[in-house]
Amino acid sequence: MRVAMYYNNRDIRIEEMPTPGINRGELLVKVIASGICGSDVMEWYRIRKAPLVLGHEIAGEVVALGEEVKHYKVGDRVTVAHHVPCNTCHYCLDGHYSVCETLRTTNFSPGGFSEYIRIPHINVDRGTFILPDEISYEEGTFIEPLACTLLAQRKAHLRPGQTILILGSGISGLLHIKLARALGVGRIFATDITEYRLKMAKQSGADYTVHAKEDIPAYLRSLNNGRLADLAIVCTGAPPAIAQAFNSVDRGGTILFFAPTEPEVMTSMNLWNLWRNCNSLITSYAGPPADMKAAIELIHAGRVTVRDLITHTLGLADTAYGFKLVAEANDSIKVIVKPHK
């Protein structure tokens, strides 16, 4: 089968690999669509394991079953979580699925930018979901990132009527806007450094958009009855955005760090102000199986629409171009690779 082998952001080669064999309890899935995630182009993170086949936002069709697979059949339309928790360790039992060692070490193989993937037994058991006929394969690639968004907003205790600020209006920021709007928040403010993404933020449900170079706290106060944001969601690892978050959250408010920085990046904070203003700082990573299921229902019910975020659909041979689009972060939002196109 053909795969798109990642060597670095500028070197992605179409290569041949054997189609994976499957064992007892496993599935072989034909990948119909695979989204390029912003984390796929974090070269500082990916280069350590290169060469490898990336792609974890997948939707496809079951084409072969291992022995003892009971709940799926050939022809099923599915989406699959690449990481799944054990559900029995100290962290899982305490509700912290994202730090479960099993979640951090499980994966399907090779990756979504290939024609077929093998789904290990543990992923079949708790990470494979039937895709309703009303959800296209392309829309199915949003289920994993929307699940991550769901977990993050739940951890941040997002509530109806709140004012939220989204810092960074790439795909993550836009999903946060759409989900927050579906959950009934009050005002939504969004920032970015490109006019294209600010336009997309407005189309996705933001009430107000503003270029990141502006005085964000002053802009908030001018349109929010003199108040700052109840919740600031940082969807970029850019240090200036992190600094803006600290200055833009109201008393009693929360800052959610959704995007990572490079490991060596340090930031300063005024602990006196945080203490005095009773602010909370939280992070969020991944999305457990329950949130995958909820994401399917939100898309299926039309509460969160995602098709309008698809800007490019490419064949496997054009994967390198897709990575270029995502890495440059200009006039693209969701770039989807279709390995059999």
State mean pLDDT over 46-56: 95
Q: Which long-range contacts (CB under 8 A, 24 or more apart) does 268-277 make?
A: 270/246, 273/246, 274/246, 277/249, 277/250, 277/251, 277/252, 277/253
**Same topology for domains 2-147+287-338 and 157-283, yes or no?**
no
Q: Which of 83, 64, 42, 67 is nearest to 237 (CA)?
A: 42
* Structural contact between residues 57 and 37, judged by C-beta atoms closer than 8 angstroms: yes
Give yes or no for residue 162 having a pLDDT over 90.
Answer: yes
Q: Is 226 exposed, middle or buried (0-12, 13-18, 19+ CB in 10 A)?
A: exposed
Extents of the domains making up the chain: 2-147+287-338, 157-283
**Which pLDDT does position 170 carry in this prediction?**
97
Residue 200 CB coordination number (10 Å): 25
Q: Which of 130, 2, 93 is nearest to 55 (CA)?
A: 2
- Global pTM reads 0.97
**Which pLDDT does position 340 carry in this prediction?**
97
Q: What is the 3-state secondary structure (H, E, C) of 258-306?
A: CCCCCCCCCCCCCHHHHHHCCCEEEECCCCCHHHHHHHHHHHHCCCCCC
Cα 51 from Cα 29, distance rounded (Å): 22
State mean pLDDT over 117-130: 98
Quote the percentage of the chain above a pLDDT of 70.
Answer: 100
Domain 2-147+287-338 superfamily per CATH: Medium-chain alcohol dehydrogenases, catalytic domain (3.90.180.10)
Crossing angle for the helix pair 171-182 and 195-204, to the nearest 10 degrees: 20
Domain 157-283: top CATH class: alpha beta
State mean pLDDT over 290-319: 98
Query: Which of the four pLDDT bands, split at 50, 70 and 90, describes residue 270?
Result: very high
32: which 2 tokens? Answer: 């119909």
State mean pLDDT over 44-57: 94
By residue count, the chain amounts to 341
